[in-house]
Structure 1
Amino acid sequence: MLLSPPHLGGGEIGAIAASLDDGWLAPAGPVPAAFEQAVALATGFRHVLATCSGTAALHLAYRCLDLQPGDHVWCPGFTFAATIAPAVQMGAVPRFLDVDAASWTLDPLALARDLRTAARGGVLPRAVVAVDTYGQCADLPALAATCEAHGVALLSDSAAAMGATRHGRHAGHGSRMAAFSFNGNKIVTAGGGGALCSDDPLPIARARHLARHAREAAAHYQHETTGYAYGLPSPLAAVGLAQLPLLDARVAARRAIAARYALGLSDVPGIALMPEARGGRANRWLTAIRVDARRFGMGGEALRLALAAAGIEARPVWKPLHLQPAFRGVPHAPLPVAERLFAEGLCLPSGSAMAPEVQDRVIAVIRAAHERARHG
């Protein structure tokens, strides 16, 4: 049983065939443009660029901010490395902040405190990147107000948050630019791919230029700067276009899965689901739990191994970036919440096609592991 396998709706093969029949393979033609329009409709953003990955979208966002070597970029330490990797590869200096225990997303109070301190020291970050953890939206209005007060750009890594909302707005709204992913394990997929979204046309126009090798409008190959091959190929855009109409149903299915876990594990000591943020409606891309080893009888890693022995894939939550060898020595604030989440956290199988009886087996294995641990 896989953690988050793709859930196909049946229209993908026909969409790919139509793209091929029309002769479109490259990141060009009507299908990527139609996919961008569909993403705009689903998210409410006015301007969208389809990209070959969510990481590419983030890289373009950093380029659109004119990020320079030595610039500082802050993000939560509790995230996937791709949030900050493009900035580091561009020569930026990262700094990692803690998350809020009530949402597992960037703590607005911690950000406000640290930006005040940085302002007094005269070294403000060029950008702050919020992350929508496991499909739960960060509190972008609060984060944006703090960033605006200091003249700092706010980006949103909304890779896993298609279909999620907070304060009545789709994930990513309130940031200058938001990046989404359509990787194979996401709630809707193109088999890969991503999107960079904004309500401002200027950064998306620049990102589109950069994503096409920064080729100028000339009959010959003319370049005023260098760019990338970051476009989304037509066949993948066709898959995404077939998937997006299913977004609401996929979110409903994942939320139902999270609710069944909550009910089925409600009386198991030491198990707590990731909380839903105030004012938020998470898409529950992955259902994550915390395992209190003292009360449950074993820790999260021992439970993961028990699930693996039963043929069930589970995964530890994000290892905080300040504990990753790749970021050894990187400045960071104290991250007690992120460290505690990593010590206790586990993601459970959450695929939207998972039948209730299959999920019941996951719940049964967890309950049996607790009983074995309790009776020695």
Structure 2
Amino acid sequence: MPRIFLSPPHMGTDEAAFVTEAFDTNWVAPVGPHVDAFEAEFAEYVGAKHAVALSSGTAALHLALRDHGIGPGDKVLVSDLTFCASVNPILYEGGTPVFVDSERESWNVDPNLVEDAFRARASGGNQFKAFVPVHLYGQTVDMDPIVSLCEQYGVTIIEDAAEALGATYKGKSPGIFGRAGIFSFNGNKIITTSGGGMLVTDRSETAQHVKKMATQARDQAPHYEHSEIGFNYRLSNLLAGVGRGQLRVLDERVDARRAVFDAYVDALGDLPGVEFMPEAPWGRNTRWLTCLTLQPDAFGATPEEVRLALEAVNAEARPVWKPMHLQPIYKDYEFIGGDVSSDLFARGLCLPSGSSMSPADIARVVDTVASTHHAIA
């Protein structure tokens, strides 16, 4: 049986033409017309004034934090239920992450816990310098209370929207509610440039500084002059061409992934012990990945048993993100909250969710999950 990947790339019809154009015009260097066009088109899509195309979402977050001046002694609040790339850039700059738990309505960060954390810091006179809310699995954080709290306590928002391109929060794109927002075009994302990312901001000074830092922080001079540390983080013109083609089909990809999710819910939603990731009332989830939780006593199998059953039929599934406070590398950092993120990890599973899945692919996954339940229950 052919492999069913968790979230493979899905190419459209324009990507190859844009890449061919780059070859035909010899614009294969790190910058070029496709980079400029991709930035402009992306900024327009999400509703930001500026966009800077970078080599990864991690690079975008790193430069956003550096532009804000994060350094040793600065504490940064960050969602606990996420991938390590949301946290590592804080450590790159010598900052200290503090993890905050999820709420069950969206699986995203709990605004009530954020308020508790801000209030406790305010009383001690050592407020967080930034907050990195992570929009998880294609669903946005409830941003209104977050924005209000950050304004009240003077905390800067840098949004990690790596998993949520195409989602909406009250009709708006994620990534535009704070100082900067970051997106990822990794190969498993809803659209891809094979590897790449984007930083968006309404601050022209941030966009200019990030662009400078991403090109080795070269100063304006005919020779190579450097007055600050820089990085080699710019996206290539070739990959930007891929991104332009992918952006044109983004809305179709969202619709396709939501259709995959709906098919799973229709086929598996009534099984005992199965609960799919809810869609929060404040926006539209892209269903980048279809995620569910299992109650083993009711379902008759653990998430790991289901994952192995899917692997046996050559279908890739993965556990929900392991919370940051449970990661060995972060075990000594502060965690605020209870057991929501750890429970979602313990009982969660991500099913194959690609926008190019065929009805036969979906049926193979559905039949395997259902038969696992019947075989063990």
State the TM-score, normalizing by the size of structure 1. 0.98
Partner of 1:341: 344
Partner of 1:126: 129
The DSSP-based 3-state class of the residue aligned with 2:53 is: strand
**Structure 1 residue 14: Cα displacement:** 2.1
Partner of 1:45: 48
- Structure 1: distance between partners of 2:32 and 2:372: 53
The yes-or-no answer on 1:355 pairing with 2:358 is yes
The DSSP-based 3-state class of the residue aligned with 1:179 is: strand
The yes-or-no answer on 1:254 pairing with 2:218 is no
**Structure 1 residue 200: Cα displacement:** 1.9
Match among 182, 190, 202 for residue 205 of structure 2: 202
- Structure 1: distance between partners of 2:50 and 2:286: 22
The DSSP-based 3-state class of the residue aligned with 2:137 is: helix
Taking the TM superposition and a 5 Å limit, the aligned residue runs for 1:78-117 are 78-117=81-120
Match among 300, 315, 322 for residue 303 of structure 2: 300
**Aligned residues of 2:310 and 2:317 also touching (Cα < 8 A):** yes
**Aligned residues of 2:142 and 2:282 also touching (Cα < 8 A):** no
Residue 339 of structure 1 aligns with an amino acid whose one-letter code is S
Partner of 1:289: 292
**Aligned residues of 2:106 and 2:278 also touching (Cα < 8 A):** yes
The yes-or-no answer on 1:326 pairing with 2:336 is no
Taking the TM superposition and a 5 Å limit, the aligned residue runs for 1:62-81 are 62-81=65-84
Partner of 2:274: 271
Residue 213 of structure 2 aligns with an amino acid whose one-letter code is L
- Structure 1: distance between partners of 2:77 and 2:333: 11
**Structure 1 residue 210: Cα displacement:** 0.7
The DSSP-based 3-state class of the residue aligned with 2:335 is: coil
Match among 58, 62, 84 for residue 61 of structure 2: 58
The DSSP-based 3-state class of the residue aligned with 1:119 is: helix
The yes-or-no answer on 1:224 pairing with 2:227 is yes
- Structure 1: distance between partners of 2:221 and 2:102: 48
- Structure 2: distance between partners of 1:28 and 1:365: 46
**How many residues matched?**
374
Dislocated runs of 4+, deviation >3 Å = none
**Aligned residues of 2:135 and 2:141 also touching (Cα < 8 A):** yes
**Structure 1 residue 254: Cα displacement:** 0.6
Match among 155, 158, 164 for residue 155 of structure 1: 158
- Structure 2: distance between partners of 1:147 and 1:170: 19
**Structure 1 residue 357: Cα displacement:** 2.4
The DSSP-based 3-state class of the residue aligned with 1:272 is: strand
**RMSD across aligned positions (CA):** 0.9
The DSSP-based 3-state class of the residue aligned with 2:116 is: helix
**Structure 1 residue 30: Cα displacement:** 0.9
- Structure 1: distance between partners of 2:269 and 2:99: 33
Gapped regions of structure 2 (runs ≥ 5): none
Residue 34 of structure 1 aligns with an amino acid whose one-letter code is A
Residue 363 of structure 1 aligns with an amino acid whose one-letter code is V
- Structure 2: distance between partners of 1:147 and 1:102: 21
**Aligned residues of 2:161 and 2:175 also touching (Cα < 8 A):** yes
Partner of 2:11: 8
**Aligned residues of 2:113 and 2:337 also touching (Cα < 8 A):** no
Partner of 2:372: 369
Residue 154 of structure 2 aligns with an amino acid whose one-letter code is G
**Aligned residues of 1:98 and 1:106 also touching (Cα < 8 A):** yes
- Structure 1: distance between partners of 2:354 and 2:241: 22
- Structure 2: distance between partners of 1:106 and 1:328: 19
**Aligned residues of 1:140 and 1:172 also touching (Cα < 8 A):** no
**Structure 1 residue 27: Cα displacement:** 1.8
Match among 137, 160, 176 for residue 173 of structure 1: 176
Partner of 2:196: 193
Residue 325 of structure 1 aligns with an amino acid whose one-letter code is P
Residue 169 of structure 1 aligns with an amino acid whose one-letter code is K
The DSSP-based 3-state class of the residue aligned with 1:58 is: helix
- Structure 1: distance between partners of 2:176 and 2:33: 27
Residue 77 of structure 2 aligns with an amino acid whose one-letter code is W
**Structure 1 residue 330: Cα displacement:** 0.8
- Structure 2: distance between partners of 1:277 and 1:173: 19
Partner of 1:314: 317
- Structure 1: distance between partners of 2:367 and 2:44: 40
**Aligned residues of 1:286 and 1:347 also touching (Cα < 8 A):** yes
**Aligned residues of 2:176 and 2:200 also touching (Cα < 8 A):** no
**Aligned residues of 1:165 and 1:171 also touching (Cα < 8 A):** yes
- Structure 2: distance between partners of 1:49 and 1:324: 31
Residue 203 of structure 1 aligns with an amino acid whose one-letter code is T
**Structure 1 residue 302: Cα displacement:** 1.1
- Structure 2: distance between partners of 1:252 and 1:199: 28
The yes-or-no answer on 1:214 pairing with 2:217 is yes
State the TM-score, normalizing by the size of structure 2. 0.98
Of stretches 281-290 and 332-341 in structure 1, the one that deviates more from structure 2 is 332-341
**Structure 1 residue 335: Cα displacement:** 3.5
